[in-house]
Amino acid sequence: MDAELFDKVYDSIVKKESTYDGIYYTGVKTTRIVCRPSCRAKTPKKENITLYPSVEAAIRDGFRPCKRCKPETPGALGPDGLLAAQTDAVIDACYGERITLQQIAQKLAISPYHLQRTYKRVTGLTPMERLHQTRLSAAKRLLESGRLTMSEVAAAVGFRSASHFAVWFRRLTRVTPSAYREGHRGNRQALAGWTRNWRDMR
């Protein structure tokens, strides 16, 4: 598994969050028990866990289902929904890299054709369309914050140069990244002025 994705799943284990429940399962090497990531049991050390895409895979490796969180209990996701959720998890962890459909499929150990067909049937989007949506949302947040240079924003969402990022951003939004940032800066200034005026009137 990709190290960055592993770290994200482990962070959810530490926080007892259900973000990756039904998507990955935690095999604890010291107890030979497999749990949901959100299990309320004592958090295992990072080096003592193996993440599995299914309970069955963990059981084949000799792990026993946890009696507390009962990971073998069916969840709301079917096989195709589970694959879509796993794809989303990979995209959310790796959108800042230069990643292709082939590479996403490799991380999930399936063929690009099967991934493309199944993900589109479940979500109505292709994996790459979802990747572009995720990158665009992240780029907008970074531009609105105003803390990074344009090159830094570009790199953070998987582009090698600010110029390529600008062409891509304008194609999707019909405005340049600079214009988008300036527009939100003006909105923030207007809001700050309105807030000051409102306070003065009280």
The catalytic residues are 35
Please name the residue that has the structure tokens 């306070």.
Answer: 199
Please name the residue that has the structure tokens 């531009």.
Answer: 143
Q: What is the distance between the alpha carbons of residues 13 and 177, in angstroms, rounded to a whole number?
A: 36
The amino acid occupying position 26 is: T
The DSSP annotation for 88-103 comes to HHHHHHHTTS---HHH
CB-facing half-sphere around the CA of 105: CA atoms within 13 A: 16
User: 75-103 b/e with 16+ CB inside 10 Å = b?
Assistant: eebeeebbbbbbbbbbbebbbeeebebee
